[in-house]
Structure 1
């Protein structure tokens, strides 16, 4: 009788733990989707539904971070396929690393220092919440990513409804991107403020000397 009671308690505890884990997963999914939607809105992404599609939402997040969206997809797929072999963690590592690289780039575009990516790695939900609701504005005009010319990590895809990130394309040799707030000059030359044109001479220059001139 005691063994039966103990088994029932173990089953009940397992069911409770599973139910609490399910609630945690649902809460995390809902919050992360809401936060991603706000970040997508700052970046000019069309369609809030993109933030609610599992895996695809982080593919969009990767594009905003100048990273190929296929990299996190490969990581997620490898985690599922390799799980029966006990190697699913390899795909999970690729997914986490790729989204962390994208978070670093997205953070730069939201006026965050590079060190903020540590918060994303440790508490991604907190990082997403801060960047979703703070007063930062989206600025894609930052130096290109180190992997911009790499075939595997570089983003070369164009998806309708998702703005093309100019910083994902490596600049021409010698090109320096304009500083934030740069305004191109107005058409036509405008002299600087306070400029005064030179005054013309008041006396006529002497006439050239010729041979036989009595003034010489």
Structure 2
């Protein structure tokens, strides 16, 4: 009897909490889509409706992060199909989250955010979206290429209304691998790199400025004679004692 009452009470509690949970989910989706719409505006995505379509808006976000959207879709499908497997399903879901985390890193770089901002995305992604949606940052694709730019993870998908994320002049050089910082042997500059112009024919470097004459060294000072030690004080001569007075003559 006690177990039946407990089960009924638990079911009633879930029924009472279900509307609140659904309301929270709807509110979170609306706010997140609104923030994505603002980020898409900064990135030049055409059509604000794209930010309000489930799944599709996240795939666009991944494309803006220089990652192929099809791999994220495959990870989601694997997590849905193999979710009943205790360990494998969780690993696939974790891989999907890390995939979006890497995309958020690239999106943050284009909005002038350092990598440390990923900590905020990891714990509160909606707050991260809100900050990037309404701050004064501007979209800039002129950043070094992603580490996976030449691998199967790179975004090579063309979608209408979503601008390409490859800069018009190619990716700039990465300071960490540029020759000024000791590039490894065989380093090739990225596409679009322009070498500085060579000097014209017959160019002669200007002569070096003459060195200023050294200041004359003053002659050494003449040696001073040694100072004699002070003379010892002389004691005064001793005087002889005075003679005693003569005795007076007797009176008559």
- Report matched runs for 1:177-216 at 5 Å: none
| TM score, norm. by length of structure 2 | 0.64
Distance 2:172 2:132 in 1: 27
Structural RMSD (CA) = 2.4
Partners in 2 of 1:46 and 1:89 — Cα distance?
35
**Higher helix proportion, which one?**
1
Aligned to 1:142: 143
Structure 1 contact 35–128 (Cα < 8 Å) conserved: yes
Q: CA-to-partner distance for each residue in 1:132-168, whole Å, 9 max, x for gaps?
A: 11111101110000000011x1111111100000159
**Separation (CA, whole Å) in 1 of partners of 2:84 and 2:139:** 41
* Alpha-carbon separation, structure 2, partners of 1:167 and 1:75: 28
Structure 2: gaps (5+ residues): 174-187, 194-252
Structure 1 pair 149–65 and aligned structure 2 pair: CA distance change class (3 A): same
1:101 and 1:134 mapped to 2: Cα distance? 21
Helix, strand or coil at the partner of 1:125: helix
1:41 matches 2:41: yes
Q: Which residue of 1 aligns with 2:105?
A: 104
Shift of 1:128: 0.5
Corresponding residue number in structure 2 for 1:64: 64
Q: What residue is the counterpart of 1:174 in the other structure?
A: 189
Equivalent pairs counted in the alignment come to 177
Query: Distance between the aligned counterparts of 1:176 and 1:17, measured in 2?
Result: 57
Residue of structure 1 equivalent to 2:127? 126
Alignment correspondent of 2:51 = 51
CA contact (8 A) 2:171 2:190 kept: no
Instruction: Give the secondary structure class of the aligned counterpart of 1:166.
Output: coil
Q: Does the 8 A contact of 1:140 with 1:166 survive in 2?
A: yes
TM-score by structure 1 length?
Answer: 0.74
The answer to whether the aligner puts 1:156 opposite 2:171 as a matched pair is no
Larger Rg: 2
Distance verdict in 2 for CA 1:174–1:25, change over 3 Å: same
- Partners in 1 of 2:51 and 2:156 — Cα distance? 21
Q: Is the 8 A contact 1:78 1:90 kept in 2?
A: no
Deviation at 1:124, TM superposition (A): 0.3
State whether residues 75 and 93 of structure 1, in contact with CA within 8 Å, keep that contact through their aligned partners in structure 2.
Answer: no
Secondary structure of 1:83's counterpart equals coil
Distance verdict in 2 for CA 1:13–1:57, change over 3 Å: same
Q: 1:27 to 1:88 in 2, by over 3 A?
A: farther
